[in-house]
A and B are shown apart, each in its own frame.
Chain A
Amino acid sequence: EAGVTQFPSHSVIEKGQTVTLRCDPISGHDNLYWYRRVMGKEIKFLLHFVKESKQDESGMPNNRFLAERTGGTYSTLKVQPAELEDSGVYFCASSQDLENSPLHFGNGTRLTVT
């Protein structure tokens, strides 16, 4: 079984540019999550999809962040325009069920905004 895959693994962009991160969850997992870790801080929840619907987007920092999951398969997270404070590691995770189901994480995308 393939795990959660994220692309790219690293991205370096300039302030004001746009970046799109992609996540492919484990096949059959309806639940897809985005998390973020900024330097020196905890991993923090961004949002949760159930299939193609946003279940909870309470962690999204502001409207420069847009997440989509068309067709309920892979997801993208777009940052437009990027700011310096957006630098960090963006993790995607998926699970089969909503509760007490192991959360499988991808290796993350390290985003650096200069």
Chain B
Amino acid sequence: QKEVEQNSGPLSVPEGAIASLNCTYSDRVSQSFFWYRQYSGKSPELIMSIYSNGDKEDGRFTAQLNKASQYVSLLIRDSQPSDSATYLCAASGGYNKLIFGAGTRLAVHP
């Protein structure tokens, strides 16, 4: 089993809908998790971090962590075409050594 797993997509949602991105992780990673957004040819950009069980909201983004199920998700409300990108789930291996999933491509269509 990979340490961090994501469905590669593409996930296609209509504009204005909620996009739900999911990630599972193994016992081998620590308990700090991050969501990065990456536009084609650009650098990964941190959009959310989550360290404890439950939900964390920031604007249109909500990160959810369920340690019992080893599951992290990112919800994007009121999706916009500009949200179309690859979303990378990452876990910390300590000292900012990140363990990435393969990324999920999100396509928001008008």
If A43-B100, A95-B96, A98-B96 touch, does A108 touch B43 (CB 8 Å cutoff)?
yes
What is the CB-to-nearest-CB distance from B32 to chain A, in angstroms, rounded to a whole number? 7
Q: How far is the CA of A40 from the CA of B93 in the complex (A)?
A: 22
- List B contacts of A33 (CB < 8 A): 96-97
**Interface on B for A, CB 8 Å cutoff?**
2, 4, 32, 34, 36, 41-46, 49, 51, 88, 92-103
Would you call B102 and A41 a contact (CB within 8 A)?
yes
For residue A98, which residues in chain B have a CB less than 8 angstroms away from its CB? 95-96
A91 vs B41: C-alpha distance when bound (angstroms):
11
Q: Which residues of chain A have C-beta atoms less than 8 A from B93's C-beta?
A: 45
Contact A100:B32 (CB < 8 A) given known A42-B102, A91-B43, A107-B43 = yes
| A107 CA to B38 CA, complexed, in Å | 10
A35-77 at interface with B (beta carbon < 8 Å): 35, 40-45, 48, 55-56
Q: Which residue of B lies closest to A47 (CB)?
A: B97
By the criterion CB–CB under 8 Å, are A45 and B101 in contact?
Answer: no
Residue-by-residue, is A99-114 near B (CB-CB < 8 Å gives 1, otherwise 0)?
A: 1111111111000000
**A33-B96, A45-B97 given; A100·B45 CB < 8 A:** no
Query: Beyond A4-B43, A101-B96, A103-B98: 17 further Cβ-contacts under 8 Å?
Result: A3-B43, A33-B96, A40-B102, A41-B102, A42-B2, A42-B4, A42-B103, A43-B88, A45-B93, A45-B97, A45-B99, A48-B97, A98-B96, A100-B49, A103-B96, A105-B43, A107-B43
